[in-house]
Structure 1
Amino acid sequence: MKGLSSVEDTLKGATQRLNHSGSDSPSLDASVLLCHALDKPRSFLLTWPDKILSMEETGAFEEMLERRIKGEPIAYIVGEREFWSLPLQVSPSTLIPRSDTERLVEIALEKAPQLQGDILDLGTGTGAIALAIASELPQRTVWGIDVKEEARILAESNASKLGINNTHFLTGDWFSPLKDGCQFALIVSNPPYIEKHDPHLAKGDVRFEPLSALVAEDNGLSDIKYIAKHAMGFLKPDGWLMFEHGYDQGDSVRNILGALGYQNMTTYKDYGENDRVTIGQLSLCQEEK
Structure 2
Amino acid sequence: MLTIKKLIKNGALELSNSQSAQLDSELLLCSILQMDREQLYCRLNEITTDKQISSFFELIKKRSIGVPVAYLLNHKEFRSLNFFVDQSVLVPRPETEILVDLALEESKTSSRINILELGTGSGNIAASIAKERPEALIVAIELSRDAIRVAQKNLNDLTITNVNLCVGDWFSPIGMENFFHMVISNPPYVSNTIDKSLSDSIRFEPNISLYSRNKGFFDLEKIISKAPRFLTRKGKILLEHGETQAGLVRSHLKKNGFNRINTFRDLNKSERVTIGWQKY
Pair in the same fold by TM > 0.5: yes
Match of 2:21 in 1: 26
More deviation, 57-66/246-255: 57-66
Secondary structure in structure 2 of the residue aligned to 1:252: helix
TM-score (norm 1): 0.93
Match for 1:100: what amino acid?
A: E
- Aligned 1:177-256 pairs, distance under 5 A: 177-181=173-177, 183-199=179-195, 202-256=198-252
Match of 2:13 in 1: 16
- 1:107 aligns to 2:102 (yes or no): yes
Q: Which runs of 4+ in 1 moved over 4 A?
A: none
- 158 and 259 in structure 1: CA distance in 2 versus 1, 3 angstrom threshold: same
Instruction: Give the deviation of 1:56 after TM superposition.
Output: 2.1
Match of 2:121 in 1: 125
User: Using the alignment, how far apart are the partners of 2:52 and 2:11 within structure 1?
Assistant: 14
Match of 2:146 in 1: 150
User: Using the alignment, how far apart are the partners of 2:130 and 2:53 within structure 1?
Assistant: 40
User: Using the alignment, how far apart are the partners of 2:40 and 2:102 within structure 1?
Assistant: 37
Secondary structure in structure 2 of the residue aligned to 1:188: strand
Match of 1:287 in 2: none
Instruction: Give the deviation of 1:275 after TM superposition.
Output: 0.3
Secondary structure in structure 2 of the residue aligned to 1:232: helix
**How many residue pairs align between the two structures?**
279
- 85 and 8 in structure 1: CA distance in 2 versus 1, 3 angstrom threshold: same
Give percent identity, aligned residues only. 34
Gaps in structure 2 of 5+ consecutive residues: none
CA contact (8 A) 1:246 1:275 kept: yes
CA contact (8 A) 1:112 1:185 kept: no
CA contact (8 A) 2:84 2:154 kept: yes
User: Using the alignment, how far apart are the partners of 2:208 and 2:137 within structure 1?
Assistant: 27
Gaps in structure 1 of 5+ consecutive residues: 285-289
TM-score (norm 2): 0.96
Secondary structure in structure 2 of the residue aligned to 1:243: strand
More deviation, 200-209/6-15: 200-209
Query: CA RMSD of the aligned region, Å?
Result: 1.3
CA contact (8 A) 1:187 1:235 kept: yes
Match for 1:36: what amino acid?
A: S
Deviation readout 1:241-283 (Å, 9 max, x if unpaired)? 0110001111010001001110111010001100000111111
